[in-house]
Every structure is written in C-alpha cells, then in structure tokens.
Amino acid sequence: MNMKKEKKIKINYITYIKNHYIPTTVNMKKWILKSLLAELSSQINIIFAGKKRIRTLNNKYLNNDYPTNVLTFPNNDSELLSGDIVLCPEIINYESKKYELSTNLRWAHMIIHSMLHLQGYDHKIKKDRLCMESIEVKILQDMNYGNPYERI
C-alpha cells in the first residue's frame, strides 16, 4: 500500500492589529499546505500588522518607505522551510474591494505568494515573475479560485 506522506507544518499566528478581517486559521493552513511544493517540514510565523508597522519593516529591510500588503522573511539558517510572513489586513482587505476580488481569493493569493517566496521564488525579473505567477494561478485554480491577475 502506497500512502502519501503528510506534510508536517507548525504555524504560529501573531496579531498586532484589531478590527480588520482575518481569515480563519483553518483556511490559512489549507492555503499554506497547498503552497508547499515539496515534502518539507515547515515552521511558519504568520504575523498580522498594521500599516505603520509594515511600512517600518518595508523601509528598514527593503528601503521602500510605504506600507505594503505582505512581506516575507525566509529563515535560511534552518534545516526546515521556515520564515516569517507579515500581512497587513487593512491593505489586503482594501485590495480585495479595489480589484473586485473575493476576500478569500485575495488572502489566499497573498499567502501562496509569500509561501513561494519562502521556497526561493522571486519576481525581480520578468521570466521569474511569469513563472511565479503561473504557479500561483495553478494553485488558486486547484482550489476553485479565479485568476487574480485578470483584474490587477
């Protein structure tokens, strides 16, 4: 009997904000697991931050002095796939309305996008961006979400 090995993951949720919609931990874990492209043991910190905090992090680590929807910080010193994903619910929820996307599609996209960053993908050059977007769209479509890039 060939049994599929279950992906092992530890997820820590850290919240610094109030009064903004955040998806359930069940949904976030589902999106994270769908985003794991290899059978890796993983430890992920999901951090919910306000616009001021994410702007400070974006400026400090990427020299971008503006708030953003998500930042990803891989922990390359670990044997595990690990790192921090910092999400700004206020911006993500605003973007779902702005781009006329379901809230869960926008959140799933941000989690999947971040998980791909933790696994070494980036979008600095066009070829890499197109590859990353293709993987994101496939994962989202496998979960019956639409293609977010059709509206953005």
Q: What is the pLDDT of residues 80-89, one digit of tens each?
A: 889 999 999 9
- Evaluate whether residue 121 is within a structural domain: yes
Q: Which domain holds residue 87?
A: 10-150
CATH of the domain at 39: 3.40.390.30
Domains held by the chain: number: 1
1 assigned to some structural domain = no
Q: Name the nearest CA neighbour of 120 among 77, 64, 68, 81.
A: 81
Whether residue 118 is contained in a domain is answered as: yes
61 part of a folded domain: yes
As a whole number of angstroms, the distance between CA 107 and CA 127 comes to: 24
pLDDT digits (tens, 9 = 90+) for 34-70: 999 887 778 999 999 999 999 999 999 999 999 999 9
At a CB cut-off of 8 Å and minimum separation 6, what does 57 contact? 49, 71, 86
Backbone angles phi, psi at 121, to 5 degrees: -80, 150
Q: Is residue 14 part of a domain?
A: yes
CB 64 within 8 A of CB 54: no
Residue 150 pLDDT > 90: no
